[in-house]
């Protein structure tokens, strides 16, 4: 008995490592499946409402069109913004490179080593190539979205049937726990995306207003980029802050002004992300900040940019599943960002 108790944690750890390795190796399949299930959780209320009044397949078609329109709008917005940024940088590449070199010389005369090192290795053509590469990757995800929508379509068709099977007497307590966990997870994911969308709109509007007020060029583009990238915690806001700051150095020909831009954009991100958003999300989405950061970076390690986005929803799903089972509720308490009283 003691031997079994000692080997159980090792077996669980080994199983977890094997599962994660499989997810990494099977990314072409596992990634669209995960996003398909995520889409099912978000779209099911619309599908359920439509199929009460319309044939199931017609309701499904409308739901998929709505999902595709939303994804297409977000994708088109970010592609348009990056295209505009590439065009702007290409048209002013020579001027920007001269200005950056001047700033590197100024920092060198004032012994600002780190800033001088960064600017000396800064190359405008490299930034343009980076943005163009990102554009190509964004334009190449069309096939991924198609596969994801196919999995979402199949999932939406199976929701009712799967629920009936799990609630059947033959499924026992395990089936009830899975249904309860899936229902709660879907509700939390919808709340998460609702709050995240609201905060993204607020962030984008604040960045746009700040850029307009300071005269920073491409104000609308920076606002849209901040809106879209805010869906990726930590990494997205960082990128949405650094890009306008780099432009500000060249446009204003002033390092202090660029630092003002950087500081103000960080204040916008901090106030909305660390003060307003937690109060809008409430206790139901409370997660450990460390684990949220871990989920983002670990997701990016597994599946790249898309993994950074889906990492937090997967963490929410894992926490909710653990919460629904008495034997694993302690894991949910560990993952939660709230301190629970002993009697809770």
**Confidence band for 331, pLDDT divided at 50, 70 and 90:** confident
CA atoms in the 13 A half-sphere facing the CB of 134: 18
Q: Where are the domains of the chain?
A: 29-335
pTM of the model: 0.80
Q: Are 98 and 129 in contact (CB under 8 A)?
A: no
Phi, psi of 307 (to 5 degrees): -65, -35
Percent helix, strand, coil in the chain, to 5, is: 90, 0, 10
The pLDDT of residue 122 is 56
**pLDDT tens, position by position, 312-327:** 998 888 888 888 877 7
Q: From the DSSP assignment, how many helices (H) and strands (E) are in the chain?
A: 15, 0
Average confidence score pLDDT of the chain: 80
Angle at which helices 56-91 and 124-139 pack, to 10 degrees?
170
End-to-end CA distance of the chain: 31
Burial class (CB in 10 A: 0-12, 13-18, 19+), 62: middle
Residues 6+ apart with CB under 8 A from 246: 122, 127
The pLDDT of residue 42 is 94
Which residues in 108-203 belong to E strands, given as ranges? none
**Confidence band for 266, pLDDT divided at 50, 70 and 90:** very high
Taken in order 243, 263, 100, 96, the sign of the CA dihedral is positive
Angle at which helices 142-167 and 27-51 pack, to 10 degrees?
60
Give the number of other CB atoms < 10 A from CB of residue 245.
18
Q: Are 314 and 189 in contact (CB under 8 A)?
A: no
Residue 123 and residue 125: Cα distance in Å, rounded?
Answer: 6
Place of tokens 């997701």: 299
**pLDDT tens, position by position, 66-102:** 998 988 888 788 888 878 877 877 777 777 767 766 6
- What are 328's two structure tokens? 């694993």
């Amino acid at each position: 008995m003691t031997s079994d108790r000692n080997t159980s944690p090792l077996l669980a750890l080994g199983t977890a490592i094997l599962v994660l390795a499989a997810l990494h190796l099977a990314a072409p399949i596992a990634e669209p499946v995960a996003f398909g299930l995520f889409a099912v959780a978000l779209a099911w209320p619309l599908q359920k409402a439509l199929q009460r009044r319309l044939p199931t397949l017609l309701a499904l078609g409308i739901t998929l069109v709505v999902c595709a329109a939303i994804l297409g709008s977000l994708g088109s917005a970010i592609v348009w913004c990056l295209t505009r940024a590439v065009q702007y940088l290409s048209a002013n590449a020579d001027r920007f490179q001269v200005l950056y070199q001047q700033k590197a010389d100024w920092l060198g005369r004032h012994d600002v080593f780190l800033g001088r090192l960064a600017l000396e290795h800064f190359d405008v053509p490299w930034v343009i190539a980076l943005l163009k590469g990102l554009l190509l990757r964004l334009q190449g995800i069309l096939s991924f979205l198609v596969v994801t929508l196919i999995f979402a379509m199949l999932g939406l068709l199976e929701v009712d049937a799967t629920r009936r099977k799990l609630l059947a007497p033959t499924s026992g307590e395990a089936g009830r726990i899975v249904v309860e966990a899936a229902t709660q997870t879907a509700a939390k994911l919808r709340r998460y995306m609702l709050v995240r969308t609201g905060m993204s709109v607020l962030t984008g509007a604040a960045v746009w207003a700040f850029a307009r007020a300071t005269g920073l060029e491409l104000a609308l583009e920076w606002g849209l980029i901040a809106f879209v990238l805010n869906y990726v915690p930590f990494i997205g806001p960082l990128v949405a802050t650094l890009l306008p700051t780099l432009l500000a150095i060249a446009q204003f020909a002033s390092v202090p002004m660029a630092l003002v831009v950087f500081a103000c954009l960080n204040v916008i991100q901090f106030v909305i992300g660390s003060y307003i958003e937690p109060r809008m999300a409430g206790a139901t989405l409370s997660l450990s900040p460390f684990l949220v950061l871990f989920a983002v970076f670990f997701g990016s390690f597994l599946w790249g940019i898309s993994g950074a986005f889906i990492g937090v929803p997967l963490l929410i799903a894992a926490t909710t599943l653990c919460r629904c089972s008495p034997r694993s509720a302690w894991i949910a308490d560990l993952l939660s960002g709230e301190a629970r009283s002993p009697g809770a």
